[in-house]
Amino acid sequence: DDGVSRTLCQALARFGGSGRNRPFEIEFDWAGRVFTDGPDAPVRFEGDQVSMLAHAAEDLGRRPRTEPAQMRGRVRAMDRSHPEEQGWVVVRGILTVRGTSVNRQVWVPLGRDDYDRALRAHGQGLEVRISGSLTRTGRRAELRPDDY
């Protein structure tokens, strides 16, 4: 993830006070052995720029991120309006993204046949495995399966 992060924008905006609109300056004092072409002058953020940083942090937090992932766990909840339609299941278990595994809950959209398989697994308390594209928006994670 290159570029400016939500965390950086939040941290800088906090220097602008509780209203996130007070100007501030940051000075850098580089180590003697570090060569830089960067300016030695302070970097100043005006009040309107601080507000923009706060808004950017909010926007970056809402921006969905999609990446390959694998999930192994048990179905905890299911929802489908009609037997011929796509349904949703909530799976709780081990989510692996870029080699890192965490205990997590994900929402998974499933077609009719896969939904029926998930229903059987849920009824029997069996573990399911899903590979696909994980999209995170804020705190919600959705895994669109390539393989279920």
124 — pLDDT class (breaks 50, 70, 90): very high
How many other CB atoms are there within 10 angstroms of residue 81's CB atom?
9
Distance between start and end Cα atoms, the chain: 28
Higher-confidence residue: 118 or 32? Answer: 118
Per-residue confidence (pLDDT) for residue 77, from 0 to 100? 95
Per-residue confidence (pLDDT) for residue 1, from 0 to 100? 42
Half-sphere exposure of 80 (CA within 13 A, CB side): 20
Per-residue confidence (pLDDT) for residue 59, from 0 to 100? 78
Per-residue confidence (pLDDT) for residue 70, from 0 to 100? 96
What is the percent of the chain where pLDDT is above 70?
87
pLDDT digits (tens, 9 = 90+) for 64-117: 778 999 999 999 999 999 888 899 999 999 999 989 999 999 999 999 999 999
- Looking at every residue in the chain, the average pLDDT score rounds to 87
